[in-house]
Structure formats: structure tokens, C-alpha cells
């Protein structure tokens, strides 16, 4: 990747320098051509006074001869004359014969006519048919007593323009700048690509199961932000891997224990070790162990279905009081066995939600079951109220609470705290994860507030489908207390 980026950058820079050099070269040649044409105009003006009376040769004038020689040496300038006599015929002047030319010999006859009409012209290109060299040409009319009697054309070859020196200067400047730019690009490209290469190596290491990877964050640009995000992802993956290992250990323990118990009970009955009078007692114990095992497996299957989006939700109007009643009846006995005050409040109106009865019941059951499990004395309860077309549900307890350091992690898969748990309960660490997924799937939200040693409150919010007045004489909320 680094090589490809560097090659692309170099190619772009070389291309840009090449285009810039061509443009500058063209502009410089155009500028030099304009300057040379201006010089030719000046030289033509210097020669015209000696051609106004061509009856006698201007070569008899030493100053005229010196001008021609100087112009030839300085600018490689040459002249052509078109001198007209009577009937627009070509006039020949002694010692000017080599400079005289016929109009039909000229390449651009239209330009010649413009000069003979009194205009000055500037041309770039071949001038005479038998000489195809590109020339810079200036044409001026020759006047005698106010009449146009001919045309003076002064030339210099285009190839004599000093653009080659300018090109050399451009190259002398461009090449060091290009080399320096490539060096700077190499350094910055390497700095940009090194974290990406480190990430690539780290990803391969993570793929092999090594989660002890960390990218050094340099700077505060987008690559540094990506590196920091990658490090956070590695930390989360490492934590998830630790949770997965803990889950395997816990689930293996939880599955092995009931299977061992069930096998022992059945083997005892088959071997006749357990007397017939106690067989029912042991079979009931085996049934409880199997139910516990089923709960563990069901939780794992539910989580897998939730994460893959394959869980089924039967959306239909559901009466909230029925959901609370069924979930409360499932855990009431456990609360009474622990001597807890069990309080259920429902609204004074019949609240209907659009959802799945079994999934809503599962949510309430999970939260009440979790509250009872973590409460030794005091109370566990559920309150419901309607607020702004929403149902607000609070499941609360006066149990052990959750520490601030642990609270952000309770929704994570496989997460279990080190707090004491009742021996007969499974510890998969999936209950709250499943609950949160179900709440969100039913278009609700869930939040938690807790203080260690004082208790925990889970707050659920669901959109209401409809409400109807309940058949309650005093208009107060329904309340069921158990002690």
C-alpha cells in the first residue's frame, strides 16, 4: 500500500511539473516573440528613411550599411523589399536586387496587400515560397511624397528565440524541487502508512488469537483517531474473549452439574439403591435439574437469535396488566420464600401495548427475577404509570446494588459480577443482555440506576398503543402486596 501511494503521488507531481513546464515554455516563447517583433518594428523604422527615395541606392549611405550589418549580427535579421513602379510593376534598384522579391513569391499575399494599403503587419511562419523556415516577420509600407511605393519586410528566424535557456533554468529549478518534494512525500507517506501496516499485522495476530496487541498513537489526525479506535476495539475483543472463556467454564459447570445429578438419581433408582418410597422425591429433583439445564440452553438460543435478527416477534395489542400478572405470579413464591415484600402497581387505566405477549412477559420476569436474586431483605417491586403517551415501568429493589465500576458492563454478553449468587440459580450472564435486546426490538428503551448497598432501579419506557378506563371504583392504581 505504501509503495502504491508513493508511486501515485510521484506520478501526479511529475505530471503536474511537466504540464507546468510546457505551459511556462509556451508563454515564454510567446513573450519572446512579442519582444522580438517589437525589436523588428524598431529596426524597420530605422531603415525606412533610407528607402523613401530609392532612385539612388541606400547602400551609398554608410550609415544604412552599418545598420543592416548590426541588425544581422544582433538579431540575424534579413530584409525583403517590394518596390512598385508604374503599373504596380516591380522596380529594381541597383545593389538592392538580392533583397527584392516578387509578390507572387510570397506565402501570405493577403498580408502583403495590407502593407501596400498602408497597414503594418506582424507574421509568424514561412514568408517566401522557396524558403519554408518559420520566421518572425514585420511588414511596413514605404512612402515617397505621401504615396505608397513599396513594402519593407524584416525577418528573423523563430528558432533564434532564446527559450532554450529559459527551459534550462526551469529544469534547474524544477528538478531539485521535484526531488525535495518526493523526499517529503516519502516521509509523510511512510508516517501515514506505518500505523496502517501495524494495524494489518495486529489484525493478523488477533486472527491467530493473540489479543495483546496495541498500536502506538501518534498525533491527532484521522490516522491517529483510527489507531485509537482500533486499540479500543482490541480492548473490547480481549474483554469479550475473556467473557467467552468464562462463559464456557460457567456453562460447562452449570450443564455438567444437573446432568451429573440426574444421572445419579436415575442410576440409583435403576440399581435399587433408592427405596421405592423416595423415588418420586428424587425424580422431582431430577426434573428441577433438567428444567434448570433447559433454562441455560434456552437463554443461549435466545441470544443467538437476537443477535442474528432471527427472533420472532408477534406484534399485536397486549394488555399490560396481564403481562405484569403473569410475570409476577412466576416469581411471587421465590419472593415469599425469602421473606421479601413484593409490590406490584399497575395504572388505573387499561394500557395496551403493540408487542409480543410472551416477550414482554420475559422482559418483566427477567428483571423481577434479577431483583429477587440480589435482594436479601427489604422489598422488590414494579410500578407502572402513563406519561405523555408512553408507559413508564420501574422495577426496583432494596438489595445489594451495583457498583459504579460494574454498572456500564451489565448489558454486555456473558457478563457476571463476583457478588454472591444463590447456588440453585444459573449464572450465564445472558439475562440482562437478552432483556435489553428484547426491549429495543419492541421499540422501547431501558435504563438503570443503582447505588451499592441501597438497591437498583430499572426503568422501561414503551410507546402506548391505546388506553381504556379500568373498572376500579376508587380510581386509584391497582396494588398487590405480599410479605
Instruction: Count CA atoms within 13 Å of residue 472 on its CB side.
Output: 14
Residue 146 has pLDDT above 60, yes or no: yes
Cell of 463: 410507546
Cell of 408: 456500564
Instruction: Please give the average per-residue pLDDT across 475-483, as a whole number.
Output: 38
Cell of 129: 515560397
Residue 138 has pLDDT above 80, yes or no: yes
Instruction: Please give the average per-residue pLDDT across 302-307, as a whole number.
Output: 70
What's CA 296's distance to the chain center, in Å? 42
Residue 448 has pLDDT above 90, yes or no: yes
Q: How far apart are alpha carbons 330 and 295 in whole angstroms?
A: 14
Question: Which of left, alpha, beta for 449 (phi over 0: left; psi -120 to 50: alpha)?
Answer: beta
Instruction: Please give the average per-residue pLDDT across 281-293, as a whole number.
Output: 82
Cell of 377: 431483605
What is the rounded average pLDDT for all residues in the chain? Answer: 77
Cell of 436: 435489553
Q: What is the reported pLDDT for 324?
A: 94
Residue 395 has pLDDT above 60, yes or no: yes
Cell of 223: 490516522
Share of the chain above pLDDT 70, in %: 79
Residue 262 has pLDDT above 50, yes or no: yes
pLDDT in tens, 306-351: 766 667 777 889 999 999 999 999 999 999 999 999 999 988 788 9
Instruction: Please give the average per-residue pLDDT across 139-159, as a whole number.
Output: 81
Q: What is the reported pLDDT for 339?
A: 92
Contact 411/436 with Cβ under 8 angstroms? Answer: yes
Q: What is the reported pLDDT for 59?
A: 61
Q: What is the reported pLDDT for 385?
A: 93
Residue 69 has pLDDT above 90, yes or no: no
Q: What is the reported pLDDT for 320?
A: 94
Q: What is the reported pLDDT for 446?
A: 94
Residue 301 has pLDDT above 90, yes or no: no
Could you tell me the pLDDT band of residue 413, with boundaries at 50, 70 and 90? low
Q: What is the reported pLDDT for 352?
A: 93
Q: How far apart are alpha carbons 234 and 231 in whole angstroms?
A: 5
Share of the chain above pLDDT 90, in %: 17
Strand partners, 120: none
Q: How far apart are alpha carbons 207 and 199 in whole angstroms?
A: 12
Q: What is the pTM of this model?
A: 0.46
Amino acid at each position: 500500500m505504501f509503495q502504491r501511494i508513493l508511486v501515485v503521488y510521484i506520478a501526479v507531481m511529475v505530471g503536474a511539473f511537466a504540464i507546468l513546464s510546457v505551459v511556462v515554455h509556451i508563454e515564454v516563447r510567446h513573450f519572446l516573440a512579442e519582444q522580438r517583433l517589437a525589436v523588428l518594428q524598431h529596426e524597420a523604422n530605422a531603415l525606412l528613411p533610407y528607402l523613401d527615395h530609392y532612385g539612388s541606392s541606400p547602400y551609398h549611405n554608410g550609415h544604412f550599411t552599418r545598420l543592416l550589418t548590426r541588425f544581422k549580427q544582433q538579431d540575424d535579421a534579413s530584409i525583403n523589399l517590394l518596390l512598385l513602379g508604374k503599373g504596380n510593376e516591380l522596380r529594381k534598384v541597383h545593389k538592392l536586387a538580392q533583397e527584392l522579391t516578387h509578390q507572387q513569391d510570397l506565402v501570405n499575399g493577403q498580408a502583403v496587400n495590407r502593407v501596400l494599403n498602408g497597414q503594418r503587419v506582424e507574421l509568424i511562419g514561412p514568408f517566401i515560397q522557396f524558403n519554408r523556415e518559420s520566421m518572425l516577420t514585420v511588414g511596413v509600407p514605404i512612402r515617397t511624397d505621401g504615396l505608397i511605393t513599396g513594402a519593407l519586410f524584416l525577418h528573423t528566424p523563430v528558432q533564434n528565440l532564446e527559450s532554450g535557456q529559459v527551459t534550462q533554468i526551469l529544469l534547474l529549478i524544477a528538478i531539485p524541487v521535484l526531488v525535495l518534494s518526493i523526499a517529503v512525500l516519502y516521509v509523510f507517506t511512510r508516517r501515514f502508512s506505518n500505523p496502517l501496516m501495524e494495524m494489518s499485522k495486529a489484525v493478523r495476530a488477533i486472527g491467530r488469537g493473540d489479543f495483546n496487541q496495541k498500536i502506538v498513537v501518534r498525533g491527532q489526525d484521522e490516522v491517529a483517531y483510527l489507531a485509537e479506535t482500533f486499540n479500543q476495539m482490541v480492548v473490547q475483543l480481549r474483554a469479550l474473549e475473556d467473557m467467552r472463556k468464562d462463559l464456557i467454564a460457567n456453562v460447562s459447570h452449570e450443564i455438567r452439574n444437573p446432568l451429573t445429578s440426574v444421572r445419579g438419581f436415575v442410576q440409583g433408582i435403576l440399581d435399587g439403591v433408592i427405596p421405592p418410597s423416595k423415588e418420586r422425591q428424587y425424580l422431582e429433583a431430577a426434573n428441577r435439574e433438567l428444567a434448570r439445564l433447559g433454562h441455560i440452553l434456552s437463554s443461549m438460543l435466545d441470544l443467538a437469535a437476537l443477535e442474528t435478527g432471527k427472533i420472532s416477534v408477534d406484534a399485536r395489542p397486549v394488555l399490560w396488566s396481564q403481562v405484569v400478572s403473569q410475570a409476577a405470579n412466576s416469581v411471587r413464591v421465590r419472593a415469599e420464600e425469602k421473606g421479601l415484600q413484593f409490590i406490584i402497581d399497575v395504572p388505573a387505566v387499561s394500557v395496551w401495548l403493540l408487542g409480543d405477549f410472551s416477550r414482554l412477559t420475559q422482559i418483566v420476569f427477567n428483571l423481577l427475577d434479577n431483583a429477587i436474586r440480589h435482594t436479601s431483605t427489604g422489598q422488590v417491586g414494579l410500578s407502572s404509570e402513563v406519561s405523555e403517551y408512553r408507559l413508564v415501568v420501574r422495577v426496583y429493589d432494596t438489595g445489594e446494588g451495583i457498583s459504579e465500576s460494574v454498572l456500564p458492563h451489565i448489558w454486555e454478553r456473558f457478563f457476571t459480577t463476583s457478588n454472591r449468587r444463590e447456588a440453585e440459580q444459573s449464572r450465564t450472564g445472558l439475562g440482562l443482555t437478552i432483556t435489553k435486546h428484547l426491549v429495543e426490538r419492541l421499540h422501547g428503551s431501558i435504563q438503570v440506576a443503582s447505588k451499592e448497598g441501597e438497591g437498583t432501579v430499572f426503568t422501561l419506557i414503551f410507546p402506548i398503543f391505546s388506553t381504556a378506563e379500568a373498572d376500579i371504583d376508587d380510581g386509584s392504581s391497582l396494588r398487590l402486596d405480599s410479605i
